[in-house]
Chains A and B, each alone.
Chain A
Amino acid sequence: DVKVTQSSRYLVKRTGEKVFLECVQDMDHENMFWYRQDPGLGLRLIYFSYDVKMKEKGDIPEGYSVSREKKERFSLILESASTNQTSMYLCASSHPRGQGGQTQYFGPGTRLLVL
């Protein structure tokens, strides 16, 4: 079974802090994704990566950056956290030649509260 893990389930940070969210997958997937999920807005793609050291902006990249130094690990960075970044953050991974149009497998999510 694909396993995607995220470093924290819950985080509380202060406005202006730098925040690191880490994601690790154990299935040797090339593709990794970061989403945020908010009530009424659904899942929104922040950044994704096709390979080590590669990244592409998603639909809402402003205020975020990412790092992918190893294939299994994809980090999301909030350079200076703001209250409007309070959200559920979800990491996902997929294989570029996987079944089902590259179905994505999700981690458990990190609930971030910025005060």
Chain B
Amino acid sequence: QKEVEQDPGPLSVPEGAIVSLNCTYSNSAFQYFMWYRQYSRKGPELLMYTYSSGNKEDGRFTAQVDKSSKYISLFIRDSQPSDSATYLCAMNTGAQKLVFGQGTRLTINP
């Protein structure tokens, strides 16, 4: 069993929809949770990070962590075609290495 599980998709939604992307994990020692966005043929870019449980909002993006369920989510409101990308979750205990999910490929249709 992988430490971090992420549905690879693909996920296709119409423009303006609310998108929900999720990861589950097995290591209860994880404390830091990140979401990266990766456009085709580019490197991943950091979108958001959260520490421990709770929500964090940044514009149209909301990251949510539920440590009791070992479940993290990224919500995108009012989705735009420019949000079409692969989204990777990542997490660690505070040590240097990150554990990544496989990534979910998202397409927003105009």
A residues whose Cβ falls under 8 Å from a Cβ of B: 4, 31, 40-43, 45, 48, 50, 58, 90, 94, 96, 99-109, 111
Contact = CB atoms under 8 A, between A and B. Distances in A.
B41 A104 contact: no
A84 B36 CA distance: 27
A43 B41 contact: no
Contacts of B49: 99-101, 103
A107 B43 CA distance: 6
Contacts of B95: 102
Interface of B: 8, 31-32, 34, 36, 41-46, 49, 51, 88, 90-98, 100-103
Nearest to B92: A101
Given A96-B96, A102-B95, 14 more contacts: A4-B43, A42-B100, A42-B102, A100-B32, A100-B51, A101-B91, A101-B93, A102-B32, A102-B94, A102-B96, A103-B34, A103-B49, A106-B44, A106-B45
Contacts of A90: 43-44
A94 B96 contact: yes
A102 B45 CA distance: 14
Most interface-central of B34, B90, B96, B103 (chain A CB within 10 A): B96
A94 B97 CA distance: 10
Contacts of A58: 97
Given A43-B88, A102-B94, A108 B31 contact: no
